[in-house]
Amino acid sequence: MWSCCLKNVTCHKRIPEFPFLEGNLYPEGRKERPGSRGSTRVRPAGQTGCPGLVRLDFVMSKKNRKTRLGRVILKRKVEEIVKEEETQEPQRPPPTVNSDEPAPKKTKWINRQRVLVFAARGTTQRDRHLMNDLKTVMPHSRSENKISRREHLQVINELCEMKNCNKSLFFEGRKKLDLYLWMSNIPHGPSAKFLVENVSTMQELRMTGNCLKGSRPLLSFDESFEKESHYAVLKELFIQVFGVPYHHPKSQPFVDRVITFSVLDNRIWFRHYQILKEDGALAEIGPRFIFNPIKIFSGSFGGATIWDNPHYVTPSVWRRKMAEAAGTKYINRKQQKFSYLTSRPKTSYSSVPADDIFEGDALEKAAAITGQELPEEYKTKQPEAIKKVAPVLKIAKKKRGGKKFKKSKAKAKKA
């Protein structure tokens, strides 16, 4: 049986006073036969073959089970062994290092970025699909159950500490219509709040692009992220949240996709592409959506407001303006009709005298204008020419058939 000195070990016989030990403990000093009343032996961790473990070898009888003196003595022995292991000097590096030898490569996971991605209650199906798409895009993300909308946002900092995360993406839905996104650096900030617009998930788009799951993406930013200060803060947040750390356990050592952030119309457009060839050929993977920044705060999910978007219009105000514009359509149509009736002329345009040329036969009109007479041949042959040009169409009647019709026709011939 084994017992760890650093962590609790699950066992079938747990002692309430010493949760890291298992079995029944008896005092040392009794020279009993093995199998009768028992003996206790404690081996140091070096002899067990595993650091931090203590080997307990003892055999006990039911009569002397759970004696108080045995517990005390064994506890002292275990404490002495642990102290001896702690006082041992650690292995020091050699005093001299050969300069010809190359420096060892750091293959450990140094940039330990973990992002907690979750949502509040009240989000729609499309919002949940978008959240799941971002989880698949980010292998360094962690999930959490939905929280109530009544909870204060500072609770998220505690959730991130419990999950050992230092970044957070929190989705919040309002009225089953609007989706808000909080992006924060835990626990000191800064944090930003966005309105997510024009959402299209991977299943809706069905794009041709595809990439290896868990691969590390390239992050591409627009030139405007370097010109303005608030875009520079958001750029650093995007890098730390969407950038997959090097040597992450769930990541793949390949770069076969690009995430682009471009600024247009005071909004940030998110696009996700696959790298097809080295010449720059791309194919969109999805999802696609737009960040409409609202505010940037100095702290995590709160604090002083660093920047406020002057161009931001709330969705409720925008919907109210659209409803007002749609409600005035009938009034505008009536006003246009009334203005037309009042401004139209009472008399129509007078006819031009030259329009009479096109009435009647063209040759006769031409002869009248020029003062010449038509030849007699044209006058006599004109009706025949008209008959030849426009013959009367004769509609052929459909032939009737059937037994009754044939019988009646034969009787008529006999008669």
Max mean pLDDT range (46-55, 81-90, 218-227): 218-227
For the stretch 370-410, pLDDT in tens is 888 877 777 665 555 444 444 444 555 555 566 666 777 77
What is the structure's pLDDT at 405?
67
Q: What is the pLDDT of residues 326-379, one digit of tens each?
A: 888 889 999 999 999 999 887 776 666 666 666 777 778 778 878 888 777 776
Q: How does strand 218-221 pair with strand 257-264? A: parallel
- E strand intervals along 224-332: 257-264, 267-275, 282-284, 288-299, 302-308
Query: How long a stretch of residues is the chain?
Result: 415
pLDDT tens by residue, 127-180 = 999 999 999 999 999 999 999 988 999 999 999 999 999 999 999 999 999 999
Q: Terminus-to-terminus CA distance in the chain, angstroms?
A: 128
The answer on pLDDT for 1 being more than 60 is: no
d(CA 212, CA 191): 31
All CATH 3.40.50.10480 domain ranges of the chain, comma separated, are 115-316
Helix (H) or strand (E) holding 413: helix 403-414
Structure-token match 């139209």, residue found: 344
Parallel, antiparallel, or unpaired for β 115-119 and 141-143? parallel
Residue 364 makes CB contacts below 8 A (sequence gap 6+) with 374
Q: Report whether pLDDT(17) > 50.
A: no
- Rounded Cα–Cα distance for residues 134 and 85 (Å): 47
pLDDT, tens digit, 9 for 90 and up, residues 39-52: 444 444 444 444 44
Residue 295 has φ and ψ, to the nearest 5°, of: -145, 160
Average per-residue pLDDT in the chain?
78
What is the residue type of 33? R
Residues 6+ apart with CB under 8 A from 114: 140, 141, 142, 163, 164, 165, 166, 167
pLDDT score recorded for residue 240? 95
Decide if domain 115-316 falls under CATH 3.40.630.30.
no
pLDDT exceeds cutoff 80 at 232: yes
Q: CA 121, CA 178: separation in Å to the nearest integer?
A: 13
With 70 as the cut, is the pLDDT of residue 302 above it? yes
Pairing of strands 115-119, 167-174: parallel
Place of tokens 């407001």: 305
Per-residue confidence band for 86, with pLDDT thresholds at 50, 70 and 90: confident
Spatial separation of the C-alpha atoms in residues 160 and 144, rounded to whole Å: 10
Q: Which of 173, 124, 114 is nearest to 144 (CA)?
A: 114
Evaluated on CA atoms 20, 22, 27, 28, the torsion sign reads negative
Q: What is the pLDDT of residues 247-280, one digit of tens each?
A: 899 999 889 999 999 999 999 999 999 999 988 8
pLDDT of residue 356: 66
pLDDT the model gives residue 9: 37
Residue 126 has pLDDT above 90, yes or no: yes
Report, as an integer, the average pLDDT of 194-207: 92
Q: Does residue 172 contact residue 180 with C-beta atoms inside 8 Å? A: yes
**Which residue reads 């962690």 in tokens?**
142
Contacts of 162 (CB under 8 A, 6+ apart): none
Tokens 């839905």 locate to 173
| Beta strand ranges found along 5-113 (DSSP E) | 38-43, 53-60
Are 306 and 233 contacting, i.e. CB atoms less than 8 angstroms apart? yes
**Could you tell me which residues are beta bridge partners of residue 41?**
57
**Cis amide prior to 287 (ω within 30 degrees):** yes
